[in-house]
A and B are shown apart, each in its own frame.
Chain A
Amino acid sequence: MRAFPLILRAVAEPPARALCTTGGIAGSALLVLVLLASHRSLSTAARTYVSQPGVQLWVAPLGTDNVVRSSALLAEGMPDSVAAIPGIIAADPIVRGFVTVEPQTVEGAVGVQLTLLGIGSIPGRAGGIPPTALRLGRAPQRRGEVALDRAAAFRLHVGVGDSVLANGRSFRVVGLTSGTNLLATQFAFFDLASARKSLGLPDRVSFLALSLDAGAEAGEVARTIEERFDAVAVHTQERFLANNVREVSAGVLPIIAVIAALGMVVAAILVLLLVQGTVEEQRRELAALRAIGVGGSMSAALMLRAALLALIGVGAGGAASLGLARLLDRVLPTVLLSPLPVDLLRTSVAFVAVAVLASLLPLARLRRMDPLEAFRQ
């Protein structure tokens, strides 16, 4: 393929059309990347809370396998009974429930109301704000304090030091968290006692987060708990994490897949039109190149150009998605995008494959071209 670099240049598209196609591909790639990034944000939010340091097992009511959707509660007195089982260092109680939060304004003023996923835990113990999530301020340490997800705080127009009403009770905002936005709702962190009171659940807990001895075998401990207590399910940290990710993303995945597929189809059509246009408009030139002995490398060159344009388009779309993520983080934190290099890599591979496939149809026409076209005036 000695002459390939020259052939690659010889079959170039008109620059303006190549630019338009690249722009179109960049737009499609941006759409796909934003969808992937928003999906990534959802699963990140589900992971962030469940990734509690030092926790190996989660005890939940039977039938409840995630934090996001659950209604049942564990039996009264269970935390102490579970903590007494050999191999368990700590069984930290967690209460969860939906709370209506609004800014505490002057009487009579109507503010924004949000329904947030309230989490109550013992300050300093497992089940509270994971260290990676605290963005500003501190975790609640006593009654009357709350830490809000920053997107929720943005929508409520409150910040650290402001007061909010949660189920009608007054709380002071002491911290803001990130990575805790589930889009449909956001996390709000309370101390255990405040949460119980606000949710009307005295002496009850939703989950237990278990920390085990270094020598304890998690499976054995889980079996012991399930044998000893009725209507209880014990999940490993990994399983519980996967359950939460599934719960938040299962509903949106089909929509994301459909829109991403549409983006791919648009990119494929653009590439097809570009290659088709090149083949049609430069018929005589391409026929002459074939006549002088340029063979399959001409098709390879056209295909490579289509792949390169797709790659440039995805690169531009990727850069735009990073810029958009940063911009949204600053001006509109309710829309959370977390683009990752792996998403860019997968999108690049998919778009290049689509571009190559899309170029096959016009290339088939090129192969059927009458060699005498080169001689025709």
Chain B
Amino acid sequence: MIPLEMTSVCRTRGRGAHAVQAVRNITLRVDPGEVVLLRGPSGSGKTTLLALAAGLLAADAGTVTVAGLRLDRATESARRQLRQRAVGLVFQRGGLASHLSARDNVRLMAELAGHPARESRRQADLLLESLGVGHRAAQRPQELSGGEEMRVAVARALVHRPMLVLADEPTANLDSVSGAQVAECLARAAKLQGAAVVIATHDDRLLRIADRDLGLTDGVLGVPLLRSYG
């Protein structure tokens, strides 16, 4: 099954005089185990593309198919279930729940995917351990460093073994060591779990884990980039 397939997708953001065509006629296929970088300047449509792939935004035209589900034909409930079971999301600032510990943030995703509570806890602990933050499992996000927080966010995105991982600027706020660790985690997820990983980024350091490097300019998907937008 193909994790992500987009055909002739368009999406406009805003209304009237403020309307901007954020994504124009994009066709993209990402296979299992593949890591794809989406690079482009701010406002180029990277985040909109991720939101379309996650089923958080609906395409104005074209089709988006995730793990065999055509999102334009799916109900809101079906799209939510898809995100619970087949999609992992990594946000730029982590997006972790501040009242939950690192472990519980990861557990939450596993439980949303339907895993039993005890099993979810075990999986969360194993994953946090493998990402080098096992010793911080009981801490809350605000007690973690930026790198630790992002690794917990990556653990949350991977714990339910999704077919598709969508990461938005996962290394933007990290130093080189932490950034490398997070990149390594995502690459490992692609190779070991067979997940398709799409990363929206400005960060050249991620090029070394990418199978494909796509440029996005004014909503148009282009050829591999030659320069950094960092």
Residues of A bordering B, CB below 8 Å: 2-3, 6-7, 9-12, 282, 284-285, 287-289, 291-295, 371-372, 374-375, 377
Within 8 A of A (CB), among B102-149: 104, 107-109, 111-112, 114, 116-117
Contact B107 A288 (CB under 8 A): no
The CA-CA distance from A12 to B140 in the complex, in Å, is 13
From A282, A289, A372, give the contact of B47 (CB < 8 A): A372
From B57, B111, B156, give the contact of A372 (CB < 8 A): B57
The CA-CA distance from A289 to B116 in the complex, in Å, is 19
Contact B84 A9 (CB under 8 A): no
Contact A6 B95 (CB under 8 A): no
Contact A6 B96 (CB under 8 A): no
Contacts of B116 in A (CB 8 A): 2
The CA-CA distance from A7 to B80 in the complex, in Å, is 16
B85 shortest CB reach to chain A, Å = 8
B18 shortest CB reach to chain A, Å = 14
Contacts of B97 in A (CB 8 A): 9-11, 285, 288-289
Given A6-B100, A285-B98, verify A292-B109 contact (CB < 8 Å). Answer: yes
Of the listed residues B77, B99, B104, the one surrounded by the most CB atoms of chain A closer than 10 A to its CB is B99
B64-97 interface mask toward A, CB cutoff 8 Å, 1 = contact, 0 = none?
Answer: 0000000000000100110110000101110111
Contact A6 B51 (CB under 8 A): no
Q: Is B54's beta carbon under 8 Å from chain A? A: yes
A293 shortest CB reach to chain B, Å = 4
Contact B47 A293 (CB under 8 A): no
The CA-CA distance from A53 to B117 in the complex, in Å, is 62
Q: Is B28's beta carbon under 8 Å from chain A? A: no
Contacts of A284 in B (CB 8 A): 93, 95
Contact B95 A2 (CB under 8 A): no
Contact B56 A9 (CB under 8 A): no
Contact B98 A282 (CB under 8 A): yes
Contacts of B51 in A (CB 8 A): 371-372, 375
Contact B83 A292 (CB under 8 A): yes
From B54, B80, B107, give the contact of A295 (CB < 8 A): B80
Contact A293 B111 (CB under 8 A): no
Contact B108 A6 (CB under 8 A): yes
The CA-CA distance from A10 to B47 in the complex, in Å, is 25
Contacts of A285 in B (CB 8 A): 95-98
B120 shortest CB reach to chain A, Å = 8
Q: Is B213's beta carbon under 8 Å from chain A? A: no
The CA-CA distance from A227 to B7 in the complex, in Å, is 97
Q: A2-B114, A2-B116, A294-B108 are in contact. List 7 more A-B contacts (CB 8 A).
A: A10-B100, A10-B108, A288-B89, A291-B89, A294-B112, A374-B56, A374-B91
Residue count of chain B within 8 Å CB distance of chain A: 35
The CA-CA distance from A289 to B94 in the complex, in Å, is 11
Contact B95 A291 (CB under 8 A): yes
Contact A291 B100 (CB under 8 A): no
24 A–B contacts from the bound complex (CB under 8 Å): A2-B111, A2-B114, A3-B112, A6-B104, A6-B108, A7-B108, A9-B100, A11-B99, A282-B98, A284-B95, A288-B96, A289-B97, A291-B83, A291-B95, A292-B84, A292-B89, A293-B84, A295-B77, A371-B57, A374-B89, A374-B91, A375-B91, A377-B92, A377-B93
Contacts of B91 in A (CB 8 A): 288, 291, 374-375
A315 shortest CB reach to chain B, Å = 23
Q: Which residue of A lies closest to B77 (CB)?
A: A295
Q: Is B50's beta carbon under 8 Å from chain A? A: yes
Contact B80 A293 (CB under 8 A): yes
Q: Is B168's beta carbon under 8 Å from chain A? A: yes
Contacts of A10 in B (CB 8 A): 97, 99-100, 104, 108
A35 shortest CB reach to chain B, Å = 37
Contacts of A9 in B (CB 8 A): 97, 99-100, 104
The CA-CA distance from A3 to B110 in the complex, in Å, is 9
Given A371-B56, A372-B51, A372-B56, verify A6-B111 contact (CB < 8 Å). Answer: yes
Contacts of A374 in B (CB 8 A): 56, 89, 91, 95
Q: Which residue of A lies closest to B85 (CB)?
A: A293
The CA-CA distance from A292 to B50 in the complex, in Å, is 13
Contacts of B111 in A (CB 8 A): 2-3, 6
Contacts of A291 in B (CB 8 A): 54, 56, 83, 89, 91, 95
A300 shortest CB reach to chain B, Å = 14
Contact B108 A3 (CB under 8 A): yes
The CA-CA distance from A288 to B157 in the complex, in Å, is 12
B160 shortest CB reach to chain A, Å = 9
Q: Which residue of B lies closest to A15 (CB)?
A: B99
Of the listed residues B81, B83, B97, B116, the one surrounded by the most CB atoms of chain A closer than 10 A to its CB is B97
B139 shortest CB reach to chain A, Å = 15
Contacts of B80 in A (CB 8 A): 293, 295
The CA-CA distance from A274 to B108 in the complex, in Å, is 24
